[in-house]
Structure 1
Amino acid sequence: MKCFAWSPDPVFDDLFAVGSASGRVDLIRLEATRVARNNVLSSGPVVTLPVRNSRSCNVLAFCNVDPNYLAVGLDKVRGDSSLIWDIQSATPSFSLSLPSTLDEEAVSNAVLGRPQPRMARADVISHRTDGRVLQQHAPTEILSALAFLPQSTHLLLAGISARWLRLFDLRTPKPTTTNIATKVHGIATSPIDPH
């Protein structure tokens, strides 16, 4: 395990992502361990998000506004990029029995009524890429830090190659970027001030 991130999803409040040294990201629910047989804890359902070329996963970031978006920051590899995943298709795999405190209407609204604007799907460079990949960014660069802006579905801050702080606007398939020359080792956003 190289990194992890908790999902802000209100339906699956125990979902987290784990990034590995091979670049693979596993989505895991902790609640699944409560359904263990004979008091033996199990890992429960795991959904794996693979990469084309093996390299280290340095950082993960869920979008707070739409928790279906997961940004994955990877080490550089020639001809390959870091990824933005839409994990909505994986959520049925995590369904255990829903807690009685959640009403069915709230669950269906969370699944069907996703926030706007939606992230645009970019043309996938390779036909071998997983269909859950929405966009690819920072080819041949190392991503060391990631954070979605707190009240946004489409603005992503990234620390790139220990040289840049880059802001991606993900509303278009070919996003616009703003760069600031600085060394970035971590990013933290304020939940109070979106700027």
Structure 2
Amino acid sequence: MSPAGNWTIPNLITVARMILVPVFVMMFITEQFGIALALFLVAGLSDALDGYLARRLNQGSRLGAMLDPIADKLLLVTAYACLGIVGLIANWLAVLVIAREFVILGGIGLLQLNGVDVRNRVRPTVLGKLNTCGQVLLVVVVLSAYSLAMPLAGLVQFLVIAVAVVSILSGMHYVFIGVGYYRQKHF
């Protein structure tokens, strides 16, 4: 595929999502939580849109397969860092969510360093998808509570516990999967 062939509509949408991240941070830092919420929602919708268009237009690409999860993680890690830094969520939850991502990313790197081909094997699990949904929902609810002055404390508390539990479980699940891949290769 030519380099120009990588610049498909879905890939351009993914890159645009990545560009929204620093704008989200700027709005967050200036306490424009309503705009930050809108940007987060637009970024989330663009994630669904780029995947749909890649399938519908038959424009799936290796670049898109690489950029899409990076854009997703960049947005979520940044959102949780922002929420934790300003105290809109507990710091321990922000650290847990971010650490989970780094453990998974580090595990993939270690597998590759040990000769395990993970390119076509690393797929989101049901727990991983549930985790992402919970994380996204918590960000939306917290930003809604602050930007729209909505009394959502009970829902936020429930989601904090749910996100923490599912983050731990899904992180452990990915570690077990990674260990299984390593054992298949080396034993």
Same fold (TM over 0.5): no
- Report the TM-score when normalising by structure 1: 0.28
Instruction: Identify, as 1 or 2, the structure richer in strand.
Output: 1
Q: Which has the higher helix share?
A: 2
